[in-house]
Amino acid sequence: MRIVMFGCPGAGKGTQAKVIAAKSGAKHISTGDMLREAVANKTEIGLKANEYMSKGALVPDEVVVGIVKEKLVNDKITDFILDGFPRTIPQAEALDVMLAELNLPVEKVVNLNIDHQVIVNRLCERRVCLACGESYHLKNNPPKVEGKCNACGADLVHRSDDQPEAIKTRLDQYDQKTAPLLDFYKKQGKVIDIDASGAIDDIRDNIMKALGL
Ligand code: AP5
């Protein structure tokens, strides 16, 4: 299984990718999680990426393509769910080249459709675990113990780019640089459109059905 999760910030890519990964055994690869880990560890890439991420801007293509390639090749991953990558046409082209070399082309692109207005509330009320990457929503998907991750017990945090100004920038970046990618994948006949405005479990069921899981 080789899937790309597609959709604007807050569409539910991470939430659904984790469930598909658990059900299918494919590896969940989130560029956002990898970059946040690099920021937390203050690596060279992390320090550079943080200048962009904190404002809601996209990290340069060559940095992100490099970390994805390293992950796929070093860990010899053959089944994956990409979450947050690719995000620009050059990233998608680089991914196609890298996967052609590995003979592992993308099979499906799950496009989570949702109105930008719903997103601001979702992201302002999101809390995340930086230790294991789990994501919660204060009302729609709260943790069992306030402020603590269900999966690993670490403290939950409010991401610095989940503030109204940065959310606006992220949505603008999505419209300008990421949304055009949909045509790129439509031309390859790989896009599955999913309404992402309903309940988390209903969206999950629709994705599973569409993927035959
Ligand atoms: P990244 O971490 O990828 O952020 P994003 O794409 O903006 O996506 P989010 O994580 O915000 O949202 P999501 O769609 O995963 O939604 P979630 O499931 O969490 O990237 C962060 C930054 O890193 C970027 O801005 C950029 O700077 C950099 N970056 C990363 N990849 C890059 C790349 N390829 N190129 C360049 N730069 C890159 O859900 C959101 C909330 O809603 C949660 O609270 C969840 O519980 C809740 N929720 C989910 N579904 C529902 C539902 N159906 N109903 C109600 N609530 C719901």
pLDDT surpasses 90 at 184: yes
Q: Kindly state the average pLDDT of the residues 52-67.
A: 94
Q: In what order do the strands lie in the sheet with 156-157?
A: 135-137, 126-129, 156-157
CA–CA separation, 166 and 140 (whole Å) = 22
Q: Helix or strand or coil: residue 3?
A: strand
Cα 171 versus chain centre, distance: 14
Q: Kindly state if the Cβ of 133 falls inside 6 Å of ligand 1.
A: no
Q: Which atom of ligand 1 is nearest to the CA of 56?
A: 25
Is this prediction's pTM over 0.85?
yes
Q: Which of 122, 159, 190, 204 is catalytic?
A: 159
* Tokens 């620009």 -> residue: 88
Q: Kindly state if the Cβ of 184 falls inside 6 Å of ligand 1.
A: no
Under the banding of pLDDT at 50, 70 and 90, the label for residue 82 is very high
126 is known as an active-site residue? yes
Task: List the structure tokens of 68.
Answer: 């994805």
Cβ proximity of 34 and 66 under 8 Å? no
Give strand pairing partners of 81: 3, 28
User: Please, what is the average pLDDT of the chain?
Assistant: 94
The residue among 116, 77, 121 whose CA lies nearest residue 98 is 77
